Amino acid sequence: MLLDALLAHLIGDFVLQSDWMAVEKTRRWWPAVAHGATYGLPFLLLTQSPMALAVIVVTHVVLDRYRAAKYLVWARNLIAPAGRRVAWADVQRNHGSSVTTPAGLANALVIVADNTVHLVINGCALAWWG
């Protein structure tokens, strides 16, 4: 079941997401909702539970629309000594990472954090309601 959920996530988040959705989902609701709907399609093969599907799709839409993973990336730096913490302003400037972090690495950290959060939520939804 875990491998099936991972494959459903990868197909929904990468194969079924158009460039339009990927670019516009953080700017407007309609592309985020369209992406969420297509993202949920592979999960129909894993569950017909309305609750599990709703949790998977709705959380995906909200997390992607607000690019919430950048806040997680920023928050992980709170465990650093005070002088080494990332400023709140860097959440917007460099995906939650220090401005000294290369932009490509900062973006990769957000992608990894985003996918990790989605996988945890999906696993919980499928385990509890699936």
Query: Which tens digit of pLDDT belongs to each residue from 70-120?
Result: 999 999 989 989 888 888 887 788 889 888 899 999 999 999 999 999 999
Mean pLDDT along residues 30-59: 98
Confidence of residue 1 (pLDDT cuts 50, 70, 90): confident
Q: What is the pTM assigned to this prediction? A: 0.93
DSSP single-letter state for residue 30: H
Structure tokens at 66: 């607000």
pLDDT band at 6 (very low <50, low <70, confident <90, very high): very high
Residue 1 and residue 46 in contact, taking contact as beta carbons nearer than 8 Å: yes
> What is the predicted pLDDT for the residue at 86?
87
68 to 17, 111, 129: CA distances (angstroms): 18, 11, 24
Q: Is residue 58 within 8 Å of 70, Cβ to Cβ? A: no
Mean pLDDT to the nearest integer, 29-43: 98
CA geometry: angle at 111 spanning 11 and 44, to 5°?
A: 25
**End-to-end CA gap in the chain:** 10
